[in-house]
Structure 1
Amino acid sequence: MEADMRVLKMVDQYLEEVIVVILLAGMTFLVGLQVIMRYVMQDSLSWSEELARYLFIWMVNIGISYGVKKKRHISIDAINLFLTEKKAAYLSVLADVLFLTFAVIIVRYGAEVVQRIGITGQTTPALEISMQLVYCALPVGFTLVCFRLLQSIFKKVKLIQQGNFGEIEKAAG
């Protein structure tokens, strides 16, 4: 049981980081390989550029979740200068709830697009894999965003209940 909790904690801590690093490494390798093929071998791979592009799409969508987890997204904090710690804490929770609402909408409509692509049977030009795999990046990435936002909201609400309003800014990081 304790080992299971350690594994879950590691997944919670490093999931996005590991995925993004793997995708970035794959993308870098493919682009480097393409450069070598073009300039050294005087030939090119028809599929490497396309695969690198799709890895980039996945990396960005997983990276959004990482940004939420580490509180690295752009926010307007000038308003907080004019608010008490308590009001700023409530505003922070409200901002997360609004972002969560947006993320849920993206997941819902992203999943619909994936279904429609599946019905059409559309495939990628060079790799000839289903475009569903590419379009899945959006709902998968934003499902992770929803998870990270829920974590943030629960942490912040707990701190508010304890009266630790000043700790809210550190809650999601």
Structure 2
Amino acid sequence: MDYDTLYEKSKGVLGSLELYLLISLYIYLIVIVNIEIIRRFILDSSSVWGQESAQFMYIYLTWLGVSWGVHKRVHVRIDVLHTFISERARGILYVLSGIGLLVFSLYAIRWTLPLIETSLEFGSETPGMRVNQAYFQAAIPIAFTLTVIRTLQWLYRDLRDLSAGDPIDDGTQLFRTDDEDQADRTI
């Protein structure tokens, strides 16, 4: 199997998994928060587990969103520079920023694993649900592991495009101009 096929398959499978997981977490968050609102203001009672589980699902949603942002290449960047530099220079900047993100992600994984080990060793539990905190702290290394995979995928693609002289993929635009919206409506 050639690397391009493996690259495309890994992006597709991982992208679907991330998307369904993010949507599921978001739906869970909406449902639990609405149930807690109804319980608190209509039934005049609330549950500790509902509030606590919503907080922890929000943590997972946020950290997995980091990986999804890398997948779509929509993280904050200074796009004004792109208009002043060549295609090749832009590709080199993407590679350098990818290497920086890779180093940061590996560093984050490295320093959160001892925290999880400590929680497992001493059995620290959440106050309301009485679940080991390690399950929720694991969101950070899980998300950054996915971020490492996504960054390696982009680095592979950027280096491949740079060496072939192909245009660099800028990813999905987070904000679109009126001209782009109008062009989409006419197609």
Question: What TM-score do the two structures reach when normalised by structure 2?
Answer: 0.82
The aligned counterpart of 2:13 is 11
Q: Gaps spanning 5+ residues in structure 2: where?
A: 1-5, 173-187
Q: Is residue 38 of structure 2 the alignment partner of residue 27 of structure 1?
A: no
Two-structure CA RMSD over aligned residues (Å): 2.0
> Which position in structure 1 is the counterpart of 2:155?
153
Letter in 2 for 1:74: V
What is the number of residues matched between the two proteins? 166
Distance in 2 (CA, whole Å) between partners of 1:92 and 1:10 is 21
Question: In the alignment, which residue of structure 2 is the partner of 1:168?
Answer: 169
Task: Give deviations 1:78-107, integer Å, cap 9, x for gaps.
Answer: 333332211221111111111111011011
Partner deviation per Cα, 1:137-168 (whole Å, 9 max, x = no partner)? 0000110000000000001111111111x333
How far is 1:13 from its partner? 2.9
Same amino acid, percent of matched pairs: 25
- Counterparts of 1:134 and 1:58, CA distance in 2: 8
TM-score (normalizing by structure 1): 0.88
Question: Hey, what does 1:58 align to over in structure 2?
Answer: 60
Secondary structure, aligned partner of 1:167: coil
Contact residue 70 and residue 147 of structure 2 kept, 8 A: yes
2:72 is aligned with 1:70: yes
| Superposition deviation, residue 7 in structure 1 | 8.3
- Equivalent in 86, 89, 107 of residue 88 of structure 2: 86
The worse-fitting range, judged by mean Cα deviation, of 77-86 and 41-50 is 77-86
Equivalent residue letter for 1:97 = I
**Stretches of structure 1 lacking an aligned partner (at least 5 in a row):** none
* Structure 2 CA distance for partners of 1:62 and 1:112, relative to 1, 3 Å: same
Pairs within 5 Å for 1:31-46 = 31-46=33-48
SS of the aligned residue for 2:170 comes to helix
User: 2:95 and 2:61 mapped to 1: Cα distance?
Assistant: 27
Aligned partner letter, 2:66: I
- Please say if residues 124 and 132 of structure 2, whose CA atoms lie closer than 8 Å, have aligned partners that are also in contact: yes
Q: How far apart are 1:16 and its partner, in Å?
A: 1.4
Q: Which amino acid in 2 is paired with 1:168?
A: D
